[in-house]
Amino acid sequence: MEAAGVTHLGAELRSSFAPNRALIIGGGLGGLFTALQLAPHPVTVITGGRLGETGSSPLAQGGIAAAMGETDTVEAHTADTIRAGDGLVDEAMAGMLAREAPARIVELLDLGVPFDKDLEGRLLLSREAAHSARRVVKVEGDMAGAVIMQALTRAVQAADHITVIEDAWAEDLVVHKGRVVGAAVSRRLEDGSRRREVHIAVAVVMATGGAGGLYEVTTNPAGATGSGLAMAAKAGAVIADAEFVQFHPTAILTDADPAPLATEALRGEGAKLIDATGRRFMSEIHQDAELAPRDIVARAVFDKAHAGGAFLDCREAIGARFEEEFPRVYNYCQEAGIDPVRQPIPVAPAAHYHMGGVLTDANGRTTLNGLWACGEVASTGVHGANRLASNSLLEAVVFGARIARDVGLHMDTMVVHVSRKKLRKVLERKAGKAADPDRVRELRRVMSRHAGVVRDGAGLCRAMRAALALGNSKSGPQLTMMATTALMISVAAWMRHESRGGHYRSDYPKADEALRQRSMLTLKQARKIAAAATGSANPDCEESR
């Protein structure tokens, strides 16, 4: 039996109404938390794999930041968030994030998340990079994401108001008379074939995650390729801060894809970064040494990795406690033939988090009527140029709750009508095929070399050219969406003639106070800028030809 508001070419094609139903695209923390908070309103959740097992959320190790300690304050959490964001954080949004964090932790506890506690029942709190206090709540050491998602999955499965559609990928937003009214979805059927469906809803929430898969080395799982950002951009949404990609400094150096992560909490417990000679180097670069903001540590590790190697030394600080306190990282090391109790762990930066995304307000509303965005796909303003550690899961639940309240207030009065002609036009497009792996590898190579940890104008020209070419090719929706997000990142990076946070340009190595403002672009603007920048009339791009 089909969920309400769904149609396909095999069904009777008629005008479609979807009263009282929300559509959430994405089954990670942001998507599931929003769905649960929307009760009792009916919700459909589209997820690319099995419920609770896809996306970046199950892989998260560190935890969730919240001022829950006796000596910690909301004001200190806010200040740390603003400081890490290197001048571009929306301070009102950061304050709201920190204020609402403790209540969201309590709600997660009520949903059955077993956060680590001491013998007296108090939450155990860890300290991570750029935090002034211990304020990160954890689960089973470094298993936060997986265990949180297990608890939310159980809650979703028990919720009568939520319908989950697994093994389905959104390919387009459906826009009717200037309003987002649903999504075209490629759904895997029992016989292995795919069918294109249209899901109509009074509210659409984009919760599709990040874009780490645009890079050769990433901690993100397969599927984190910026598809949600691309769909929103194609529909006309404003994209903010796209140039700011966070590279986690301590991915374990193996051939695995995605790259396994050595959590920030290891450095919070005293682990040191050393070079190939065994010499500690972060203490010479920043006053906070290994706990400096991620962008600073990532560039330092990047330099050392290209000059003989960089290593995370946990032997003295953690030693024999490693397996018990950090079981996931310990297993990653064992699989790579590394004994972290006795050996330093070889590390390198990996694309980890996209600070940019679809521009939203405090309630997750985008610039498109009918569309909200939650989690990594959104740009709420709380991260600025560099995200504070363990604020990502927090952002997902804080804004998920706010989106649910906002949508819930209006669902009973919102009614969407889509004509039969509009439905047929969307449905007659074929469900997309898998992207050509050779072209995907080429795009990832170009983005890593030219829009990665260190950038310059000539390299960004190459990235823009590649993104334009792939975006204009008949390569199917998956590769086109990847190219679209790559274009938004490279154009925004090309336009920012300074270095700030996660965006570092070797040709503009200093921050420029005159450029201390968020970037905002539509896809139409980005294409126009890229075409002009890479054209033969621009001498600045000549050397990149």
Map out the domains of the chain as residue ranges.
6-243+355-427, 248-350, 437-544
For residue 322, give the nearest of 263, 246, 247 by alpha carbon. Answer: 263
Name the fold adopted by 6-243+355-427: FAD/NAD(P)-binding domain (3.50.50)
Q: Which residues of 301-322 are buried (b: 16+ CB within 10 A; e: fewer)?
A: bbebbeeebbbbbbbebbeeeb
Point out the catalytic residue in the list 127, 187, 294, 328: 294
The model's pLDDT over 344-365, given as tens digits with 9 standing for 90+, comes to: 999 999 999 999 999 999 999 9
3-class SS at 542? helix
Q: What pLDDT does residue 98 have?
A: 99
Q: Which amino acid is at 340?
A: P
Provide the 8-state DSSP code for 260.
P
- Residue pair 116/327 in contact (Cβ under 8 Å)? The answer is no
The model's pLDDT over 151-209, given as tens digits with 9 standing for 90+, comes to: 999 999 999 999 999 999 999 999 988 999 999 999 888 888 888 889 999 999 999 99
Helix 144-157 with 29-37: angle, nearest 10 deg: 40
What kind and span of H or E run contains 73? none
For the chain, what percent of residues have pLDDT higher than 90? Answer: 80
Distance in angstroms (rounded) separating the CA atoms of residues 395 and 373: 11
Q: What pLDDT does residue 1 have?
A: 43
The model's pLDDT over 67-103, given as tens digits with 9 standing for 90+, comes to: 999 999 999 999 999 999 999 999 999 999 999 999 9
For the chain, what percent of residues have pLDDT higher than 70? Answer: 94
Q: Which CATH class is domain 248-350?
A: alpha beta
Terminal CA-CA length for the chain: 55
Distance in angstroms (rounded) separating the CA atoms of residues 25 and 206: 5
Q: What pLDDT does residue 404 have?
A: 98
Task: Give 477's pLDDT tier (boundaries 50, 70, 90).
Answer: confident
Q: Is the pLDDT of residue 17 over 80?
A: no
Residue 470 φ/ψ region, left for φ over 0, alpha for ψ in the -120 to 50 degree band, beta for the rest: alpha
Q: List C-alpha distances in Å: 537 to 155, 462, 531.
A: 58, 15, 10
Q: What pLDDT does residue 12 have?
A: 47
Cβ within 8 Å of residue 349, ≥6 positions away: 217, 247, 248, 249, 251, 298, 299, 301, 302, 305, 453
Q: What pLDDT does residue 522 have?
A: 99
Q: What pLDDT does residue 542 have?
A: 57
Q: What pLDDT does residue 7 have?
A: 62
Q: Is the pLDDT of residue 452 over 50?
A: yes
Q: What is the mean pLDDT of the chain?
A: 92
Q: Tell if the pTM clears 0.85, that is, is over it.
A: yes
Task: Give 545's pLDDT tier (boundaries 50, 70, 90).
Answer: very low
Upstream peptide bond of 344 is cis (omega within 30 degrees of 0):
no
Q: What pLDDT does residue 245 have?
A: 98
Q: What pLDDT does residue 290 have?
A: 96
Distance in angstroms (rounded) separating the CA atoms of residues 165 and 44: 7
Q: What is the DSSP string of 405-464?
A: HHHHHHTTT---EE-HHHHHHHHTSPPPPPPPHHHHHHHHHHHHHHSSSSB-HHHHHHHH
Distance in angstroms (rounded) separating the CA atoms of residues 344 and 314: 7
Task: Give 14's pLDDT tier (boundaries 50, 70, 90).
Answer: very low
- Burial category of 254 from C-beta neighbours within 10 Å (exposed 0-12, middle 13-18, buried 19 and up): middle
Say how far residue 224 (Cα) sits from the centre of its chain: 8
- Residue 172: CA atoms inside 13 Å, Cβ hemisphere, count? 19
Q: Do domains 248-350 and 437-544 have the same CATH topology?
A: no
Q: What pLDDT does residue 9 have?
A: 54
The model's pLDDT over 394-437, given as tens digits with 9 standing for 90+, comes to: 999 999 999 999 999 988 888 787 877 888 888 887 666 678 89
Bridge partners (DSSP) listed for residue 528 = none
- Residue pair 142/321 in contact (Cβ under 8 Å)? The answer is no
Q: List C-alpha distances in Å: 527 to 15, 227, 354, 541.
A: 35, 17, 20, 16
Distance in angstroms (rounded) separating the CA atoms of residues 93 and 70: 24
Distance in angstroms (rounded) separating the CA atoms of residues 123 and 136: 9
Q: Is 315 a catalytic residue?
A: no
The CATH architecture one would assign to domain 437-544 is Up-down Bundle (1.20)
